[in-house]
Amino acid sequence: MADQSKNTNTPGIFELNNGSMQVKISNFGATITSLSVPDNNGKLADVVLGFDSVDPYVNGLAPYFGCIVGRVANRIKEGKFSLNGVDYTLPINNGPNSLHGGNNGFDKKTWEVAGHKKDGDKPFITFKYHSADGEEGYPGAVTVTATYTLTSATTMRLDMEAVPENKDTPISLAQHTYWNLSGHDSGNILDHRIQIWGSHITPVDQHSVPTGELLPVKGTPFDFTEEKRIGDRIGEVGIGYDHNYVLDCADQEKDGLKHAAKLRDGESSRVMDLWTDAPGVQFYTGNYVDGVVGKGNAVYGKHSGVCLETQGFPNAINQKSFPCVVVKAGEKYKHTMLFEFSA
């Protein structure tokens, strides 16, 4: 029986468990705080970076661990854009840019729990958030929902939807979990192997904002069109990977979603396949994580986790050649991710 709507503004942590995988998710930021899946010997490990309680998230100690970011994920150049003849200014919180929705984006809000079925067949939890007109400088009120569902023994699906009520507005949500398939407390992810179904990246300027070009990855350190070790050429890209890949070479679909990436840990033999309907994925290697004390007093350092944030392209609101992120009033934004684990 579904544990129906809790109209609570109290941040908490809720569980989904289907007997094979166990996921803990907070209504603060719609945040995955723990996700445990088996290795090839059936041994469970928690493969996401995070904290044991909700307090560190609420107190701002998490560098976007596990949350949903919005209203617009990634960077908007100089925190400015124009829409329908009106100029908008957003909070500057990342160098000269506005990042992940501003100072108090969706990751820092307590969402309503609109439905929850903890276990049994297809456990799920649905979160709902109402973003007011003018919140963090964005136009129009928006109603947002995010539903996490354990669709099979070791598969989790995330469905994000948003409807602008009265004004057109940019919307681009992203799920910002840091993955470490060896276990959250096992050190860095440089020995993980990854394949990304993208033959181009959107190269960036000195402030990590896309220039508007599309750069072929062939022959560069960004080429993961075939599976490679993350650490092989990471030293050639500055402090690490933090780039948007154009998902332009998917060769298969699942549930109407295209293959975005495959992440593999040789030690545990855990594999995560990621599927999405978004046009891009931010491949980020935790370059700025520095001595964060997380679950069980594990200390997370640089490259302790890898993020695979499917998304609209960064700064798309200011780049007419990029896929449009403007959603018209009354229309529906949809973004689905499928996380498929195996060993």
Residue 244 assigned as binding residue: no
| pLDDT tens, position by position, 42-77 | 999 999 999 999 999 999 999 999 999 999 999 999
The confidence score (pLDDT) of residue 251 equals 78
C-alpha 284/C-alpha 263 separation (Å) is: 13
**Is a pLDDT exceeding 80 seen at residue 189?**
yes
Residue 333 assigned as binding residue: no
What six digits make up the tokens of 81? 């854009």
Residue 233 assigned as binding residue: no
The confidence score (pLDDT) of residue 5 equals 43
Residue 242 assigned as binding residue: yes
First to last CA, the chain: 31
Provide the mean pLDDT of the chain.
96
129's CB contacts (< 8 A; 6+ apart) are 30, 106, 109, 111, 112, 143, 144, 145
**Is a pLDDT exceeding 80 seen at residue 198?**
yes
The confidence score (pLDDT) of residue 8 equals 61
**Is a pLDDT exceeding 80 seen at residue 7?**
no
Look up the pTM and report it. Answer: 0.97
- Is 176 noted as a catalytic residue in this protein? yes
- Express as a percent the part of the chain with pLDDT over 70: 98
| Contact predicate 117/100, CB 8 Å | no
The confidence score (pLDDT) of residue 250 equals 77
Residue 177 assigned as binding residue: yes
Amino acid identity of residue 275, one-letter, is W
The confidence score (pLDDT) of residue 2 equals 45
Amino acid identity of residue 301, one-letter, is G
| pLDDT tens, position by position, 36-49 | 999 999 999 999 99
Long-range CB contacts for residues 110-113, cutoff 8 Å, separation at least 24: 110/9, 110/10, 110/11, 110/27, 110/28, 111/27, 111/28, 111/29, 111/30, 111/146, 112/5, 112/6, 112/7, 112/8, 112/9, 112/27, 113/5, 113/6, 113/8, 113/14, 113/27
User: Using alpha carbons only, what angle is made at residue 206 by residues 274 and 304, rounded to the nearest 5 degrees?
Assistant: 40
C-alpha 310/C-alpha 332 separation (Å) is: 18
The pairing of strands 31-38 and 22-26 is antiparallel
Q: Annotated catalytic residue: which of 100, 309, 335, 340?
A: 309
Give the DSSP per-residue string, 127-196: EEEEEPTTGGG--S-EEEEEEEEEEETTEEEEEEEEEESSS-EE-B-EE-PEE-TT-TTS--STT-EEEE
Q: Annotated catalytic residue: which of 176, 192, 243, 303?
A: 176
143's CB contacts (< 8 A; 6+ apart) are 128, 129, 130, 131, 162, 163, 165
Residue 178 assigned as binding residue: yes
The confidence score (pLDDT) of residue 252 equals 82
